Structures are given as structure tokens and as C-alpha cells.
Amino acid sequence: MPRVIFTPNIQRHVACPETNVAGCTVREVLENVFAENPRARSYILDDQAGLRRHMSIFLDGELIRDRAGLSDEVGETSTVYVFQALSGG
Amino acid sequence: MSDSLLVSTRKGLFTVERASTGWRITRGDFLGDNVSLALIDPRDGTRYAALDHGHFGVKMHRATGNGAWEEIATPTYPEKPEGYEELDMWGRPLPWSTVRVWALEPGGADEPGVIWCGTIPGGLFRSDDHGTSWEMVRSLWDHPLRKQWMGGGADLPGLHSIIVDPRDSRRVTVGVSTGGLWATEDGGATWSQRGEGMRADHVPPELTHAPIAQDVHCLVQCPSAPDRFWVQHHNGIFVSSDGARTFSEIEDAGPSVFGFPVRVHPKEPDTAWFVPEIKDEKRIPVEGRLVVTRTRDGGRSFETLGRGLPQEHAYDVVYRHALALDGNGERLALGSTTGGLWISEDQGDSWSMVSHTLPPVYAARFA
């Protein structure tokens, strides 16, 4: 099953431990994460269920292309990194 | 008179209380986090705080009594219809997503648990259960003229003022920057534009007097004379005596007619306070002197009040929610973008500093 790893910065808001979940697309993988951890959803996805503007997802080391639909295909041994873009303030 | 104040800042929510030695910061919540707005519900004491976590979005929290804060639902925009495309004034897709909470107000005294919430990019939300769940007011969002709302200082339109009429909780008036004033008399089922008589000099001449083109910065209503509304507008100060239907312009108001906040005395509709700034791009106090202006005669004359406020090299901006007035109309609080917080116990005649090292202040509200 694909492995999902979350940015350390999200952990103080909502605990998102590394996990292995099923899914053939980024959307399916995340939905399976949210099924177990529903509070994480709004921290990662916006109101239209697209990836939040300053979040990024790396799939096997490459940025995903479909930030709105999250349709990028995930392999059985893939690693999905949910990161945030850097900013200060 | 209120002895307690909630101050929302870029780096936390601060409780300020009056002690025998003066006003002191007694508590800090959400330290390090961006708190855009807070509400203390006068009907039941429940506190609400809107946080903006940046990457992770806007989140709402609630605390009852002196209890701990808990995360509650965030106002969420409805799913955009399949294939629907709506562009903002810059030609970019308008986000159907809560970008910022910009207004939080309790419902009427006869509707416990009702909370109204205004947001950027313009959505109005209502909760009937103390914020446990929210529903967008689709009748306003789907109004065909809503698409003509534009960004003011922000890129996107924002709904920043919500007024629930003390005579009838179904009558609600809201202010939008930019989009003018909108009112419902049936609890939100239908909406109509208000605000004839306001004037915008930054738009083409044919739009100058169009109610929808008005950049209302802040709207308040006098609770004991509810047909009296005051507006601090991008273009100046306007006053209405017929329930926000028509407004008259106040053209002379001390150092400047530009500013963001306005507060009206709860029992004296002719008494109102403003914080003047140099207009448009500069947005700093005139001649580096931070002052409050006060009228007691409906705008015919203004006093300029600066005793206790910095009177040289002050570059504080006071945002629309950062001037607070207590329920008696006696005490005011003033929070600034440079981290100053001042309180007056004599209607603004004199001010004492609580702190000049707070993070940038977004909002202040008496309990």
C-alpha cells in the first residue's frame, strides 16, 4: 500500500502520523486518510476539495500536477509527501 | 461598564482586564497564531475566535465560560457547480473558499445560539447552534449583483459589518468592501441594496453614486435609535437617519475624513467616534499624530482627541474592528498595526496605554 507522510508543521494543529493506506490516485489515498482522521481534511484541502493554495504534494519525489482533482496515479509502493510551501510572517 | 477586553492580533488573542492598578494583559491564547477576529457573545458569554493558519486555512474555535478553547466548524463555501466559472476583478478564478473571517456577530436577543459570520471573498454565513455548524446564506451569494462586488484594499471582496436590528432579528444589514450595503427584512430569504447618497470618487463618473460601487469600510447602528446608521467609507463619513436607505455626507471631520473604524454611542445617535488617517495609499495618521475624532451633534462638528495617544512620529493604522466601545458608551479601546493598545474611560477625552509591544492588532472587543 502507498505510504503517506505529512509535514511536521501540521502536527501541532492536528496529529497526522505516517500511515499506509490503499488508493490508486492521490484523491483516493487522501480520502482513506481522512476516513480515519476527518479533522485533517480542512487543513489540507480547501472548500472545493482541491489542495490548499500553499500546500504541496510530492508523489515519489515529484510535485503532483492535478492540484484540483488530485487525479495523479499512485502506485502500490508509492510514497506521498504532504508538505507546505515555505513562508514567513 | 465593561472591565474586560479581547484583543485579536497577528500573533495571538489577548485578554485585557481592569484591575485597581489599571488595565493589564492577563491572558494570551493561541500565541504565535494569526487571530483575525474574536467575539464575546453578550447573551451567554461564549467566546469565539477566528484563526488563520495560512497554509492550513482558516479555523474557528470556541470557549464557553472560562473553559478551554475547542476547534469548531469553519464556515465553508458550497461546492462550486460543475463547469461553473467565475472570475474576480483581476481575471483570476474567484475562490469559493473561506479566505478570511471578517465579521462575527451574535444574532438577536430572541435567537440564542445564532451567530453571523462574514468572510472574504464575500460569503455570509449563519450558525443556529453556537458555531457547531454553519450554513452559507445562498440568497445573498447567489444574488446576480453579488458578482459585481470587488476587492477594496484586499484583492477580493469582503463582508466586514453585520448589523442585526434590535427591533426585529430578521432585519439584518451588511457592509461589503466593495459592494455597498445590503439588507434583508425576512431573516435572509431576500436581499436588497441600500445606501443611496454615498459617493465614491475612485470609480468612473457614471458609477460614483451607484450603491454597489461604494467602498464601505465600517457600518454601525445606534441600538436605541436603530434608524441611525453611521458609515466610515473609503471616501469619507456618511450618516443615515432612515435605516441605511439614504445617507448624507459629512465633509469636514477634523484632520481627515478617511479611516477604517466607526463606533456610535448606544444611546446617543449623534455621538460617534472615528480614527482619521491620510487617505488612500498612505494610510498613516496626519502629521504623525494618532488621534480619535468625536462628534456629539450628528456630524456638524468634531473634536480631535489625542491626550494620552502618541503625538509625534506615530504611524499606527487602526483597522475597522480595532476601535472598541463598551456597552455603556463610556469606555473605548484602540489597537493599532504597530502593536499599541490604549483605553479611554472618558469617551475618548483621555487615553492610557496598555501596551506598545503587542503584535499588529486586528480587532478589539469589550466583553
Residues of B in contact with A39 (CB under 8 A): 71
For range B252-265, the mean pLDDT: 95
B77 near A CB under 8 A = yes
Tens of pLDDT, residue by residue over B55-94, are 899 999 999 987 899 999 999 999 999 888 888 888 888 9
- CA–CA dist A86, A82 (Å, integer): 13
Mean pLDDT of B290-303: 98
Amino acid identity of residue B296, one-letter, is R
pLDDT tops 60 at residue B181: yes
What is the length of chain A? Answer: 89
Q: How close is the nearest chain B Cα to the Cα of A48, in Å?
A: 6
Question: How do the pLDDT tens digits run along chain A, 89 residues long?
Answer: 999 999 988 999 999 999 999 999 999 999 999 999 999 999 999 999 999 988 999 999 889 999 999 999 999 999 999 998 765 44
Is A13 in the B-facing interface, judged by CB distances under 8 Å? Answer: yes
What confidence score (pLDDT) does residue A89 get?
Answer: 45
Q: Does A38 touch chain B (CB under 8 A)?
A: no
* Phi, psi at A30, each rounded to 5°: -65, -40
Write down the pLDDT at residue B82. Answer: 87
Q: In three state form, how does the secondary structure of chain B look?
A: CCCEEEEEECCEEEEEEEECCEEEEEEEECCCCEEEEEEECCCCCCEEEEEECHHHCEEEEEECCCCCCEEECCCCCCCCCCCCCCECCCCCECCCCCCEEEEEEECCCCCCCCEEEEEECCCEEEECCCCCCCEECHHHHCCHHHHHCCCCCCCCCEEEEEEECCCCCCCEEEEEECCEEEEECCCCCCCEEECECCCCCCCCHHHCCCHHHCCEEEEEECCCCCCCEEEEECCEEEEECCCCCECEEECCCCCCCCEEEEEECCCCCCCEEEEECCCCCCCCCHHHCCCEEEECCCCCCCEEECCCCCCCCCCCCCCCECEEECCCCCCEEEECCCCCEEEECCCCCCCEEEECCCCCEEEEEEC
Residues of A in contact with B74 (CB under 8 A): 42
Q: Cβ B55–A55 below 8 Å, yes or no?
A: yes
A12 touches B: beta carbon within 8 Å: no
